[in-house]
Structure 1
Amino acid sequence: MTRSLIALLILFSSIVNDQTVQAQSKILTEAAPAAGGFSAARLARLDASMQAWVNQKWVNGSVVLIARHGKVVFYKAHGYNDPATKAPLDKTGIFRVASQTKALTTVAVMMLWEEGKFSLDDPVSKFIPTFANQKVLATFNAKDTTYTTVPAKRPITIRDLLTHTSGLGYPAIGPPAESAIYAKSNMTGGVGVKGQKLSDAMTRLGTLPLFFQPGEQWKYGLNMDVLGYLIEKWSGMNLEDFFQKRICQPLGMKDTYFNVPPEKGSRLVNFFQGDSAGTIKKQASVFGGVLDMNYPLQKHDYFSGGGGMSSTVYDYATFLQMLLNNGEYNGVRLLARNTVRLMTMNQIGDLNPNIGDHALDNKFGFGFLVISENGSKFTPSQAGTYSWGGVFSTSYWVDPKEDMLVLIYRNMWGPYVSNTDKAFKPLVYQAIND
């Protein structure tokens, strides 16, 4: 090998290594669209569309943040925090992000896995004894809520919880048998819970039947709530403290909470319900009055790993940038890059997540929906894009191949909210200009 060829190889290796370091150390910085490979003129289409959604009364308002190559190229709010008074929606508002809590729980679990607290294939019963010798629902009598079971073929594992393949269901949003069995045992979705302890609820959950044999189906369930309790057992601190001390504070996430501090209460955005006539009304409670929408301001100690957190768009973008950086942000490493790889690849084999559009064409990792090569034909997002959202109309995605993260936050339900989702993704991708 000639000296010149060796020199070229050394130079190439140095460039690759330097690029790797840069890729792992990106800190969110607001910049002109061109710095992130976006067209300002094309982003103006998104800007105008967000205002049009308000004018058409699809939503009361929305906040959007787009970052690419670590550059925040779009960070705006449109609309109203109260249409009646025309009080504007602030882009720094604190939103109820609900199931976006699950990503923090997943990161916390994998941090503790890296510390050797457990194996992914450990049975849950190793840590919560009531999960031993579990049964699977066979028949259900709706008249008196009695049921029969068959033995589970194998124990459920930590991996099953991370992938929603355990057989656990979700209170109130599942089929009648599932809802009835959980209601009878006072199982909840974990948000706004009063008068219960997480330890008691998760221990009780282990005595209830599974709804399919472990590992044989994908079903959205209370898996992350169980993992939240396990985080408490493995770490010796409650979930709120773990999130704050091990994730939020190290990353500089200053507005992400289970319990929003009273001094920040005015920043909690209002929640709205729209109807087909275009009427948008502020809601003090939802689910037939069961859930007070001021729950983030009502001091509580039931910390659901599956829901319950509130956050800002910018705080959550920081968290996502950490993942996009392969586990590191601003000199703080929470996860190794191969751990992030595990979390964001297909972990369910030939199963399919039965949720969202084109569900049969995508996959699931640890805590994230993952767009497959086949699924990418339905969307401008590249294969490998991972995402999730919350029940109150917040959502995000991370597209590693584009080195991009995107969030859209609304706190509203209504027949036209989904119109904004359908319009939003094309508006983001059409503005990429490199």
Structure 2
Amino acid sequence: MTDTDPRGLGLCPERLERIDAWMRRYVDEGRLAGLSVSLLRRGQTAFFRAHGKADIARDRPFGPETIARIYSMTKPLTSVAVMMLYEEGRFQLDDPLSCFLPEFAEMRVAVGGNRVKLDTVPAQRAITIRDLLTHTSGLTYGFMEATLVDALYRVAGIDFQTSDHALADLVARVARQPLLAQPGAEWNYSVSTDVLGHLVAVLSGMEFSDFLRERVLKPLGMNDTDFFVPDDKRERFAANYVFDRTGRLKIYDDAEGSRFLSPPPVASGGGGLVGTAADYLRFCRFILNKGELDGVRLLGRKTVELMTANHLDGDMAAMGQPRFSESSYAGVGFGLGFSVMLDPARAQIIGTPGEVAWGGLASTSFWIDPAEELAVVLFAQLIPSSALPIRRELRVLTYAALVD
């Protein structure tokens, strides 16, 4: 809990307490094992609360030091790494990916057929680096289980979370699959950011995990964020839960037997990190400060402004059929690594045009609202993220507490 008086930051203490009551209710009703909420306003932590258990079986409380799986909240950090290389003049956003990863030359696009024979046509243009950053590359995720291309990913063993193969090998497997759509034509959530992790390695000459650790995480003081939990921090690692058929919580990934307890064969830029809420709030401060934190500048102001602008032709709804993402489609666009709020009325949720956000598979999420000088980080460990409406509920509770 913070000692900062929220009144001086334009927040109503009584309304903030509604967040606390909401958190307690989810834990008391057995719908979440535990959760934390961190709220930053005008550079200061105005609210932090944690309730429930990080690990029910071992009676470990959910707290500020709890290490959780952030899954797709890894994507914005990977995108920062990419844009650091952009600032070094290593590439332009409209450069074809095949200039650096030649296996992506001469891609083909699925247009029909069946599992026995898939019909494809040549891609009308090359995949660009900007396509990867905006999820308009035509790539997909195998776990979607919605298209024939998704099925091909599963057959090819393309899983950046669990594979024993090297990052370069998995990316090469991706390149051998047909695209789901023409490059730039549709917004489809995908392994694009994992491919970007490999691009970082190729351009920098460093292992992607080393680059992210040495060039991004350590300079930002995100000292508890990494691709695995070291031995001396194991007791702080949360268990991950799922609902059983009766709606009760059961273990999905035990904290003591998790694959996250050792360095992974693949450092997934799309979803491989674990970390604390305090660490991620530092990242939010870095974005709010437009590329600088505590005297350390990783990106220029104009680069952050470019990243947090909408790069789609309209919102996500205009560029694809909803399948899966960590965001609603209507009224929300996408920048270079973040969703971008365009129209809260169309999104049917309270908010501010220009805010950026994303979430992770285990019910973590964040949003950054530059106009309100606000950032919020929600941590829980429940799969899937769509199991409970906690993200939307927290947004309402948070904005209701703004009174200046």
TM-score bracket for this pair, using the shorter chain length: over 0.9
Partner of 2:194: 225
Query: CA shift at 1:285, angstroms?
Result: 6.7
Alignment deviations for residues 274-321 of structure 1 (CA, whole Å, 9 cap, x no partner): 2464522223479xxxxx971211222311110110010000110111
Partner of 1:8: none
Cα distance 1:63–1:293, how it changes in 2: closer, same or farther (>3 A)? farther
For the Cα contact (< 8 Å) 2:133–2:192, is it kept in 1? Answer: yes
Cα distance 1:419–1:158, how it changes in 2: closer, same or farther (>3 A)? closer
Which of the residues 342, 347, 361 maps onto 1:391? 361
Q: Secondary structure at the match of 1:172?
A: helix
Matched ranges for 1:164-183 at <5 A: 164-183=135-154
Q: Secondary structure at the match of 1:43?
A: helix
For the Cα contact (< 8 Å) 2:326–2:358, is it kept in 1? Answer: no
Cα distance 1:351–1:408, how it changes in 2: closer, same or farther (>3 A)? closer
Q: Aligned pair 1:378/2:339, yes or no? A: no
For the Cα contact (< 8 Å) 1:102–1:306, is it kept in 2? Answer: yes
Alignment deviations for residues 237-270 of structure 1 (CA, whole Å, 9 cap, x no partner): 1111111111111111110000221111111101
**One-letter code aligned to 2:8:** A
Which of the residues 255, 279, 289 maps onto 1:325? 289
**Which consecutive unaligned segments of at least 5 residues does structure 2 have?**
none
Which of the residues 83, 89, 94 maps onto 1:121? 94
Quick one: distance in 2 between partners of 1:136 and 1:332? 43
Alignment deviations for residues 211-244 of structure 1 (CA, whole Å, 9 cap, x no partner): 1111111101111011000000111111111111
Query: CA shift at 1:100, angstroms?
Result: 0.6
Q: Aligned pair 1:56/2:29, yes or no? A: yes
Greater shift, 213-222 or 368-377, is seen at 368-377
Partner of 2:258: 294
Cα distance 1:38–1:117, how it changes in 2: closer, same or farther (>3 A)? same
Partner of 2:227: 258
Matched ranges for 1:269-280 at <5 A: 269-275=238-244, 277-280=246-249
Partner of 1:3: none
Q: Secondary structure at the match of 1:283?
A: strand
Q: Aligned pair 1:241/2:210, yes or no? A: yes
**One-letter code aligned to 2:279:** D
Greater shift, 355-364 or 317-326, is seen at 355-364
Query: CA shift at 1:92, angstroms?
Result: 1.3
Q: Secondary structure at the match of 1:370?
A: strand
Cα distance 1:357–1:415, how it changes in 2: closer, same or farther (>3 A)? closer
For the Cα contact (< 8 Å) 1:250–1:332, is it kept in 2? Answer: yes
Q: Aligned pair 1:78/2:58, yes or no? A: no
Q: Secondary structure at the match of 1:200?
A: helix
Q: Secondary structure at the match of 1:125?
A: helix
Which of the residues 199, 208, 212 maps onto 2:168? 199
Q: Aligned pair 1:312/2:281, yes or no? A: no
**One-letter code aligned to 2:261:** L
Larger Rg: 1
**One-letter code aligned to 2:370:** P
Query: CA shift at 1:110, angstroms?
Result: 0.5
For the Cα contact (< 8 Å) 2:38–2:377, is it kept in 1? Answer: yes
**One-letter code aligned to 1:340:** V
Quick one: distance in 1 between partners of 2:43 and 2:145? 39
**Which consecutive unaligned segments of at least 5 residues does structure 1 have?**
1-28, 287-291
**One-letter code aligned to 2:130:** R
Query: CA shift at 1:380, angstroms?
Result: 2.1
Cα distance 1:120–1:422, how it changes in 2: closer, same or farther (>3 A)? closer
Cα distance 1:202–1:357, how it changes in 2: closer, same or farther (>3 A)? closer
Quick one: distance in 2 between partners of 1:51 and 1:326? 34
**One-letter code aligned to 1:325:** N
TM-score of the pair, normalised by structure 1: 0.87
Query: CA shift at 1:384, angstroms?
Result: 0.6
Cα distance 1:413–1:238, how it changes in 2: closer, same or farther (>3 A)? same
Query: CA shift at 1:89, angstroms?
Result: 1.5
Which of the residues 112, 129, 132 maps onto 2:85? 112
For the Cα contact (< 8 Å) 2:364–2:381, is it kept in 1? Answer: yes
Quick one: distance in 1 between partners of 2:80 and 2:224? 18
Quick one: distance in 1 between partners of 2:175 and 2:345? 35
Query: CA shift at 1:174, angstroms?
Result: 4.1
For the Cα contact (< 8 Å) 1:106–1:367, is it kept in 2? Answer: yes
Quick one: distance in 2 between partners of 1:165 and 1:343? 15
Query: CA shift at 1:88, angstroms?
Result: 2.0
Partner of 1:368: 338
Q: Secondary structure at the match of 2:285?
A: helix
Cα distance 1:89–1:136, how it changes in 2: closer, same or farther (>3 A)? same
Quick one: distance in 2 between partners of 1:414 and 1:331? 37
TM-score of the pair, normalised by structure 2: 0.93
**One-letter code aligned to 1:37:** G
**One-letter code aligned to 2:242:** Q
Cα distance 1:94–1:187, how it changes in 2: closer, same or farther (>3 A)? same
**One-letter code aligned to 1:157:** T
For the Cα contact (< 8 Å) 2:361–2:385, is it kept in 1? Answer: no
Quick one: distance in 2 between partners of 1:293 and 1:210? 36
Quick one: distance in 2 between partners of 1:167 and 1:104? 22
For the Cα contact (< 8 Å) 1:275–1:414, is it kept in 2? Answer: no
For the Cα contact (< 8 Å) 2:327–2:358, is it kept in 1? Answer: no
Partner of 2:17: 44
Q: Secondary structure at the match of 1:366?
A: coil
For the Cα contact (< 8 Å) 2:363–2:384, is it kept in 1? Answer: no
Q: Aligned pair 1:184/2:148, yes or no? A: no
**One-letter code aligned to 1:184:** V
Cα distance 1:30–1:322, how it changes in 2: closer, same or farther (>3 A)? farther
